[in-house]
Amino acid sequence: MTAGALARSVVSGGAVARPLASAVVGIAVALGTAALLVLFSGRNPLVAYLALLGGAVGTPDRIAVALNKATPYLLTGAGVALCFRARIVNIGAEGQIALGGLAATWLALRLPHAPALVLPLLCALAGAAAGAAWGGLAALVRLKRRVHEVLVTLLLNFVGVLIVGEVLQGELGEPGAGFPQSPLLPSAAWLPKLVPGTDLHVGVLVAVAAVLVCQVVLWRTPFGFRLRVLGASEGAARYAGISFAHTTLLVMMLAGGLAGVAGAIEVLGVHYRLIEGFSHGFGFAAVSIALIGALSPLGVLPAALFFGFLESGALAMQRAVGVPTPLVSVIQGLTMIFVLAAMALSAARGRV
């Protein structure tokens, strides 16, 4: 494949324009509604949003923080988007991230003397394996017992997080710490900084690369084709010889693996240790982002960045204007709702 063909395929991903338009409209409406709330509380929404923007992109430091925050969103959002393509609702990212971080921590603590270029890579692979296994487990329960994957992944989230908590009490815990966490990881395991002097680590490159790979897989490989056929028509998929079981298992393992890598990156690049609760909220955010990104890996890019910048700018907004940071959750929630309603409406009108 030539580079040109690759580039074209990354962009060509099918009818993305319309769903992305509804995402943009959804965001606009959400921002508008949130602005009303700000007004209602006696402050100027324009000033608030400007502060938000400044807090997000005002200085290189702020941008670095935003990109770091967006990294796990990119990875998990892409995986969940692929699952959604096959009409599989996977909310298990939180548990998969937790176990991915756990695996990475365990390996890092085991091999403190490994070379600094190799160790992060190995730990990320370990994270991917753990996440893939957890995703695969959910798929197996769903397939063998015909239980809706939402319920299975939801429950496995809790179990995964509790497993991490348990392990932190035991062998991986740091005795004497005021909080359940592992000892500081050997510096050989730390992710190198992308831009020296800032907090930005190389994880964002990995995430963006993963998103592009997902896009290519979805649109350029037989596996991606199978995902799309399965999501579009189960009857046609059977006729085409596509195995629902195989495809479900593979895509859930893929999404789990991506989430596992995200967990490893959080541990190796942000916290430098395993901290209880570090995976909180990612499962649901991944679903939001996949939806807002029109279920396309390429669409996940702006959506994840949007979430990342929102969160990073929120604190600045609160300090400057006094608008509380939870406004960000309001915006995120409203966006999701409007996008969902818009998608449902257009589906009911018989479009894609």
Partner 1 sequence: MPEPARPPGAMLSMRGIVKSYGAVRANREIDLDVSAGAILGLLGENGSGKTTLMNVLYGLVRPDAGRATFKGRPLSLGSPRAAIEAGIGMIHQHFMLVPSMTVTENVMLGWAAAGSWLRAAAVAARVREASRVYGLELDPDAVVGDLPLGLQQRVEILKAVLRGADLLILDEPTSNLSPPEVGALLAVLRRLRDEGRSVIFISHKLGEVLDICDEVVVLRDGAVAGRRTVAGASRDDLARLMVGRDLTPPLARVAREPGDEVLVVADLHARDAAGVERLRGVSFSVRAGEIFAIAGVDGNGQAELAEVLGGMAVPTRGRVFVAGAELPAGVAARLDAGVAHVPADRASVGLVRDMTLADNVMLRDADRAPFCRRGWLDFAAAREAAQRGIEAFAIRAEGVETPVRALSGGNQQKVILARELGRRPRLLLAVQPTRGLDPGATRFVIDRVLALRDAGAAVLYISTELEEILAVADRVGVMYAGRLVGVVRPGGTDLTRVGLMMAGALEETPDAAALYGVKA
Partner 2 sequence: MSLDTAVVELITAAVRIATPLFFAALGGILSERAGAFGGVLASHLIGSSAAGLAASVAAGVLIALLVAVATVRFGADQMVTGLAVNILAVGLTSFLLRGFAARGEAAIVRVPVLSAWPVPGLADLPVLGPVLFRQPPLTYAAAALGVLVAIFLARTRAGLTLRTVGENPAAAFAVGVDPVRVRVAAVLACGALAGIGGAVLSLQQVGTFTDAMTNGRGYIALAAIIVGRWLPGGTLLGCLLFGAADALQLRVQSLRLPVSSYVIQMMPYVVALVVLAGLGRSARLPAALGVPFRRE
Residue ranges binding partner 1 (CB under 8 A): 1, 220-222, 225-226, 228-229, 232-233, 235-236, 238-241, 352
Distance between CA 227 and CA 86 in Å, rounded? Answer: 5
Token code pair at residue 177: 């710490």
Q: Least Å distance between CB 238 and partner 1?
A: 5
Residues 6+ apart with CB under 8 A from 281: 94
Q: Least Å distance between CB 231 and partner 1?
A: 10
Adjacent-strand bridge partners of 161 = none
Could you tell me where the DSSP H helices lie in 175-266?
203-220, 222-232, 234-239, 244-265
Partner in contact with 238, chosen from partner 2, partner 1, none, beta carbon below 5 to 8 Å by kind: partner 1
Q: Least Å distance between CB 325 and partner 2?
A: 7
Residue 136-175 contact track with partner 2, rule CB under 8 A, x = bound:
-----x--xx-xx-xxx-xxx-xx--xx-xx--xx-----
Q: Least Å distance between CB 216 and partner 1?
A: 9
Q: Least Å distance between CB 169 and partner 2?
A: 6
Q: 281 and 94 in contact (C-beta within 8 Å)?
A: yes
Q: Least Å distance between CB 250 and partner 1?
A: 13
Partner in contact with 163, chosen from partner 2, partner 1, none, beta carbon below 5 to 8 Å by kind: partner 2
Token code pair at residue 181: 């966490």
Interaction with partner 2 in 65-104: which residues (CB under 8 A)? 89, 91
Instruction: CB nearer to partner 2: give 150 or 213.
Output: 150
Residues 6+ apart with CB under 8 A from 95: 134, 153, 156, 157, 158, 159, 160, 161, 279, 283
Interaction with partner 2 in 10-39: which residues (CB under 8 A)? 37
Instruction: CB nearer to partner 2: give 88 or 129.
Output: 88
Instruction: CB nearer to partner 1: give 1 or 3.
Output: 1
Distance between CA 23 and CA 17 in Å, rounded? Answer: 10
Nearest to 253 by CA among 144, 100, 74: 100
333, exposed or middle or buried, with CB in 10 Å at 0-12, 13-18, 19+? middle
Nearest to 278 by CA among 98, 70, 157: 98
Judged by CB under 8 A, the residue of 9, 44, 198, 329 near partner 2 is 329
Token code pair at residue 278: 């570090």
Residues that bind partner 2 (CB under 8 A): 37, 40-42, 89, 91, 141, 144-145, 147-148, 150-152, 154-156, 158-159, 162-163, 165-166, 169-170, 284, 287-288, 291, 318, 322-334, 336-337, 340-341, 343-345, 347-348
